[in-house]
Amino acid sequence: MASPVFERMFEADFKEKGATVIPLPGKTYEEVDIFLRLLHPMHCWKPVEDDNIGVVLRMADEYEVKPLQQRCQYQMNTNLVTDKYMNFEKALFYLRLSDTHNIQETRSKAIESLAMRDGCTLGEN
């Protein structure tokens, strides 16, 4: 199973094991739909994009889905390395995500991207 959390929920003696409906508090239908489509890419493929990466990372962390966490990290790292003209907001968005989800490599690349901007000196007040 892709998620150790789901595995424990459905295979151990948790109430979810025999339930026909499983509440996922704090998540919208759209968020769960994106997450499930990314879990099963062979059947209903959905790309990781900037408009869904925050939700995907949050749920991948919560449900311990390492391959999906890695896919998000790869997407951000690739964008940070290949997009030399990435706008400030996007680089800052990646920095916030990587900081929130403790993705050190992406955090370093985002800081590097932000530091390469003309007239930008990080660490000065």
Domain ranges of the chain: 4-115
Query: In terms of C-beta density within 10 A (0-12 exposed, 13-18 middle, 19 or more buried), how is residue 80 classed?
Result: buried
Instruction: Give per-residue pLDDT as tens, 71-104.
Output: 899 999 999 999 878 889 999 999 999 999 999 9
Q: What is the mean pLDDT of residues 15-22?
A: 69
**Which tokens hold the place of 108?**
């370093």
Q: How confident is the model at residue 9 (pLDDT cuts 50, 70, 90)?
A: low
Residue 15 has pLDDT above 80, yes or no: no
1 versus 103: the higher-pLDDT residue is 103
Gap between the Cα atoms of 7 and 31, Å rounded: 20
Q: What is the mean pLDDT of residues 34-60?
A: 78
Q: Taking a C-beta distance cutoff of 8 angstroms, is the pair 124, 115 a contact?
A: no
**Which tokens hold the place of 52?**
């869904």
Give this prediction's pTM: 0.67
Residue 1 has pLDDT above 60, yes or no: no
Domain 4-115, CATH: 3.30.710
